[in-house]
Amino acid sequence: MKQILFVLISVAFLAGCSKSGGDTTKPVVILNTPTGNQEFAAFSTVTISGSIADDDEIHEVHIIVTNVTNSSEVLHVHTHVDAKSYNINEVFTAQAATTYKIHVEADDHVGNTTVIEIQVKGI
């Protein structure tokens, strides 16, 4: 009987622990370059730069560049940050007559998520 009581108390204690600790603040994502609808000459380098910050700690960052014209992934960076800030600095090469979707996603350790998406075009 004591073992059952111990298990019930342990389960109740663990269920009462909240992982979030009340954190409802999403990470802040600032994308400096490129700007939405910016155009790039064919075969030029597109630099994705910016920063991400969180009041607690960033868990992971995804930077995904998709060729919208044929739905292929051009770049996919997945980084486990585990810090309060992260600097974005990635590049890809623009192709002529191609539209790209740049997707930047940041999650903190309790699941608060921020997503920024823009499109740019190779001409």
pLDDT digits (tens, 9 = 90+) for 93-121: 999 999 999 999 999 999 999 999 999 99
Count CA atoms within 13 Å of residue 88 on its CB side: 30
Direct distance between the N- and C-terminal alpha carbons of the chain, in angstroms, rounded to an integer: 75
Predicted local confidence at residue 22, as pLDDT: 87
Highest CATH level, class, for 25-122: mainly beta
Q: Which helix (H) or strand (E) holds 108?
A: strand 98-108
Is the pLDDT at 53 greater than 90? The verdict is yes
Q: What does the CA dihedral 50, 117, 35, 110 come to, rounded to 10 degrees? A: -20
Predicted local confidence at residue 122, as pLDDT: 97
Distance between alpha carbon 37 and the CA centroid of its chain, in Å?
A: 20
Is the pLDDT at 4 greater than 80? The verdict is no
Question: Model-level pTM?
Answer: 0.82
